[in-house]
Amino acid sequence: MTLNILIVEDEPPIARSLKALIEQLPGMRVAACAEHGAEALDRLEREEIDVVFTDVSMPVMGGIELMSAIYERYPDIVTVVVSGYQDFEYVRSALQYHAFDYMLKPVFKPDLHRLLEKIAELSARRKSEAQTRQLAALLNRTTPGDELVRDALPDLPWYALAVVCAGTMPQSYSDGAIPGKSYWEQVDWGELSSSVGGNCRFWMMDGRTAAEKIVIAAFAEPRDIAEFERIYAKLPENLFVTMLVGPETRKREELADFHDALRQLLYRTVSVGQSRMIFVERSKLEARASRERGLELESAEAEALALHLRRDETEAAAGAIAGLFERCAEREVSQAELESVLQQLLHRIVKFSSGQEVHSTLPEIELGEAIAKAVSYPSLTKDVLRVYAAAAVRDQAQDTPPIVLDVERFLREHYAESITGEELSRRFGFVPSYITKLFRAHRGVSPLQYLTRVRLDKAKEIIRGEPRLMLKEIAQMVGYSDPLYFSRVFRKEVGVWPSEYKQG
């Protein structure tokens, strides 16, 4: 990386001497010299400058006034004062405008070179941060801040984006303790990206969950997209990792669409225990998602498993779940299909055990958390067995107070209406805090949290059954008057936006 430097000095011999000292250090280039601040500002308008060395006392425009203008217009430029005056007011003014250093004339080579090395480190860090902010703005489809007046990205024509997931993708559950989080903490991105050859640049950014990362590359030739393979090969192997690489493009603005489409595909690609890297063609990203053929789940399997659980036959129950997971591993079942199968099995177990539907969302949440924390099918077997065993005895209607059943029935029947804690209190004759405490004790969530789950389950049902309905119509059908608020709640609880759910 070369630093472009501007020297602002009204005495030519001093400017020439400083230029000679600076250019003795590799990676330093004096792009221009100016005799006063006004000329320097003119240079900054026409040239890309990283560092400005400026005197204080000069004709037309002095150094302090120049630094004030740079501070306002070019906050990423590093300024250094070189002055013969050891005056406190000059030093104070320089600090006010964030001067990197204040050097007294004459300038000595060792001091200057140490300073330049520090500036080079700072400039590289700032440039990397500016590039990351610019790419994040592209992905978020937002306008970059004022600090990105200049295009910070390198002059390379081709771009590509990959989504990477360590372990499984957390959905609507807390992702704070998932294996993917600790996995990424051990990855040294600087060392990883330095292994890339050719004229390529790579950036890694946080994804939407702690398990995900976004990797963006800029390169000179379309064939350089293969450098993603080097990145993938260097990743630690202590957890299964899925990487989907989108097509190369000359249009940076396409990266946001690629990210959204790749992330939908990722959920249908991640498979427990299976590491894989796939280059995804543009046609596959643009095609509508096709539904996977579901894993066959016999009623007899659910009944046998429920019977083992009721008899406390833990070993037999674990064997039944392990057998199901063997079939999943053989077929390389995706996370999306696995979650669907395990949720179906949960409902069948509870239905067989108690004759009732699943009353509490707690086992569904626990099941989702178990999948989010899975590092292999054997580890998942233990967690799923624990969830199923608890659910088989938890959802017994006779153990549930009538008030809880009444509130639950009301929420399921009136989810499309506006419901508050105060309304539940008036309807059922108890203070809101008592209803909430009792309901949470038996259903694992508060009444309003339960209502949100019911509404979103119904919304997903409507989206699947009537995909042509507008978002506003769906929101109103499930009790939300504000479609934007509905979208935010849907995204927070389900893990994707309603529009993404409709597509995939």
User: Which burial class, exposed, middle or buried, applies to 223 when counting CB atoms under 10 A from its CB (0-12, 13-18, 19+)?
Assistant: exposed
pLDDT at 394: 58
- Could you tell me the pLDDT band of residue 353, with boundaries at 50, 70 and 90? low
Does residue 192 surpass a pLDDT of 90?
no
> In percent, how much of the chain has pLDDT > 90?
47
pTM of the prediction?
A: 0.67
Of 396, 430, 451, at which residue does a domain stop?
Answer: 396
- Whether 452 shows a pLDDT value over 60: the answer reads yes
The total number of structural domains that make up the chain: 4
In a domain, 105, yes or no: yes
CATH number at residue 434: 1.10.10.60
The answer as to whether 88 is a domain residue is: yes
Cα gap 403→436, rounded to integer Å:
11
For residues 120 and 30, state if they share a domain: yes
Distance CA 502, CA 403 (A): 36
What integer is the mean pLDDT of 121-149? Answer: 77
CATH of the domain at 221: 3.30.70
Q: Is the pLDDT of residue 228 over 80?
A: yes
* Domain assignment present for 315: yes
Claim to verify: residue 258 and residue 319 sit in the same structural domain: no
Q: In this structure, is residue 130 part of a structural domain? A: no
pLDDT, residue 409, reads 85
166 and 266 in a common domain: yes
Q: In whole angstroms, what is the distance from residue 12 CA to residue 364 CA?
A: 76
Do residue 184 and residue 244 come from a single domain?
A: yes
Shared-domain flag, residues 59 and 88: yes
Q: Name residues whose C-beta falls within 8 Å of residue 69's C-beta, 6 or more positions apart in sequence.
A: 37, 41
Which pLDDT value is given to residue 242?
A: 97
Q: Is 131 inside any structural domain?
A: no
User: What tokens appear for 343 in the block?
Assistant: 């949720």
Helix H or strand E segment including 140:
helix 109-140
Boundary residue ending a domain (258, 286, 314): 286
396, 418, 435 - which closes a domain: 396
Domain that holds residue 421: 402-503
Mean pLDDT of 341-346: 89
Residue 156: which region, alpha, beta or left (left: phi > 0; alpha: psi -120 to 50)? beta
The number of CA neighbours under 13 Å toward the Cβ of 480 is: 23
Q: Two tokens at 191? A: 């060392």
Specify whether 80 is located in the same domain as 13.
yes
**Looking up tokens 């108690």, which residue turns up?**
354
Helix (H), strand (E) at residue 98:
none
d(Cα 184, Cα 192) in Å, to the nearest integer?
A: 12
Tell me how far apart the alpha carbons of residues 385 and 392 are, in angstroms, rounded to a whole number. 10
Token pair listed for 432: 């809101």
148 belongs to a structural domain:
no
Residue pLDDT, tens place only, 249-280: 999 999 999 999 999 999 999 999 999 999 99
What is the distance between the terminal CA atoms of the chain, rounded to a whole angstrom? 43
Please give the pLDDT value at position 3: 92
The answer to whether the CB of 4 falls within 8 A of the CB of 93 is: no
